[in-house]
Amino acid sequence: MILGSTFTALFQNFTTTSTQVDESQNIIIDPNNNVSEIHPEGDFYYTNELPDSIGNSYFVGTFTNTSGSDLLMPKFTVTLFNEDGSTIGSSDGYGEKNLITNNESVIFEVLWSKIPKYHHYEISVTATTHEGDLNRPDLILKSIELKKIKNKGTSLTGKIQNQGTSISNFTRIKCLIIGSDNLVSDYGTVVLEKEDFLPKETQKFSFEFYRTNEFPTLYYCETDGMNKETGAN
């Protein structure tokens, strides 16, 4: 767990250490709509680099917003460094949810294409503050279970319910599984095939994870969608 808005990881012989780097805020006031662009304070959990088979890497984890404000479109920037502290470059990605309330968590994913050799990396967060109605579906996840897939990996199953009064569109679930080292060992996203997820409706979902044979010690799942527009045709 890292306090602050910047996460630093140092890789040596495939081990990870982390330190608190920066908790400052740089606020720019927008006179038109009274919102601010900030480097929000928050906590990082389970953050890990997951390479693929073609030389790319995905930096994945969760960020808990403790800034005191609701955040719109949090952007996560991964910067790579040489051992002497010089910058190699950076890449950006976004949270799985577009709107994050205070004390709410979000999964993030940042792609680094053809990743070069590096000594350590930092993850920083920027976002715009949000004021007003959240205007999002009231979705909950429940009955989540993990099971070992013999000689293959792990399955995760569960149910999602729309407990609100609006139809949800573009409904999706994203899950992380976390290993004994407290880092993400695999992740995935499921989008409901049915476009209109009706109020009070419940659907099942499932994931299969094959990146590791280690049975996870934890999981983290979240869901998001959009309220269906009901304007006149």
Domain residue ranges in the chain = 2-130, 139-227
CB atoms within 10 A of CB 79: 17
pTM: 0.82
What is the Cα–Cα distance from 113 to 231, expressed in whole angstroms? 41
Q: What is the tens place of the pLDDT at every residue in 137-183?
A: 999 999 999 999 988 899 999 999 999 999 999 999 999 999 999 99
Q: Which fold has domain 139-227?
A: Immunoglobulin-like (2.60.40)
**Residues whose CB is less than 8 angstroms from the CB of residue 81 and which lie 6 or more positions away in sequence, other chains included:** 87, 88, 118, 119, 120, 121, 122
What is the Cα–Cα distance from 61 to 58, expressed in whole angstroms? 10
Q: What is the tens place of the pLDDT at every residue in 176-233?
A: 999 999 999 999 999 999 999 999 999 999 999 999 989 999 999 999 999 998 754 4
Q: What is the CATH number of domain 2-130?
A: 2.60.40
Contact 92, 108 (CB under 8 A): no
Question: How many CA atoms within 13 Å lie on the side-chain side of 84?
Answer: 2
2-130 matches 139-227 in fold: yes
